[in-house]
Amino acid sequence: MRVASDIGGTFTDLVAFDEDTGELSLAKVPTTPDDLTRGVLETLDPARIDAARIGCFIHGTTLIINALTERRGARTGLLTTQGFRDVLEIGRANRPDIYNFSFRKPEPFVPRDLRLEVTERMDHKGEVITPLDEDSVRRGVRALLDRGARAIAICFLHAYRNPAHERRAAEIARAEAPRTPVSVSSDITREWR
């Protein structure tokens, strides 16, 4: 049995295909914001699915895209490599319409006061240029929390090649702020750009 589920802002949808019988089942239930998994589980009965028979489960959601486009969600602070605080705002400096003098870049998702630098540096091969200053991580985490951050993102230069500094910074952040979600760029994707 192959099952696909999509958690939306209003409804959670499920489609199931029974490979043995060729039967297609559909279900739609209200999304359960307090526990998103509950909504997925509630689609199983109306779709007449025996969870033990599921061989493939595919999951998708628009919740993250909605949160980003609507700029909702936790106020997030960013720890980044010293000297690279403004990279998010600068971006690639390209303009989609170069002759439009009214063009304004969208505001970055993390405001400047919540982007802090940490002393560390890897080169493009993942070799350590500047060792991680763990005290700068601790100071940064405390400063972000003092400024109202409810989540912390860590994104260091060239961590896609060597995530050691990011991983250690995440350990420190989790120790300093155990109830605060911490996201690490190299855990999300290990690709350049």
Q: What is the mean pLDDT of residues 35-61?
A: 90
* CA proximity to 63, closest of 72, 54, 51, 50: 72
pLDDT of residue 180: 97
Backbone angles phi and psi of 117, in degrees to 5:
-95, 145
- pLDDT tens digit sequence for 66-102: 777 888 888 999 999 999 999 878 876 666 777 888 8
pLDDT of residue 84: 93
The token pair at 193 is 């750009």
Q: With contact defined as beta carbons under 8 Å apart, do 158 and 126 qualify? A: yes
- Percentage above 90 pLDDT, the chain: 67
Determine the Cα–Cα distance for residues 98 and 49; give it in Å rounded to an integer: 53
Domain map (residue ranges) of the chain: 2-68, 74-188
pLDDT of residue 18: 92
Q: Is the pLDDT of residue 190 over 80?
A: no
pLDDT of residue 50: 87
Could you tell me how far CA 17 lies from the centroid of its own chain?
A: 30
- pLDDT tens digit sequence for 136-165: 999 999 999 999 999 999 999 999 999 999
Q: Is the pLDDT of residue 109 over 90?
A: no
Residue whose token pair is 């199931």: 16
Q: What is the mean pLDDT of residues 38-48?
A: 91
Q: What is the mean pLDDT of residues 18-45?
A: 92
Determine the Cα–Cα distance for residues 36 and 21; give it in Å rounded to an integer: 30
CATH number for the domain running over 2-68: 3.30.420.40
Q: Is the pLDDT of residue 129 over 80?
A: yes
Question: Going along the chain, which residue ranges are E strands?
Answer: 2-7, 11-17, 24-30, 56-61, 76-81, 115-118, 121-122, 128-130, 151-155, 182-184
Of 45-54, 95-104, 107-116, 126-135, least confident by mean pLDDT is 95-104
Amino acid at site 52: A
Average pLDDT over the chain, rounded to whole?
91
Q: With contact defined as beta carbons under 8 Å apart, do 151 and 121 qualify? A: no
* CA proximity to 39, closest of 68, 70, 14: 14
Greater confidence (72 vs 111) lies with: 111
Determine the Cα–Cα distance for residues 72 and 116; give it in Å rounded to an integer: 21
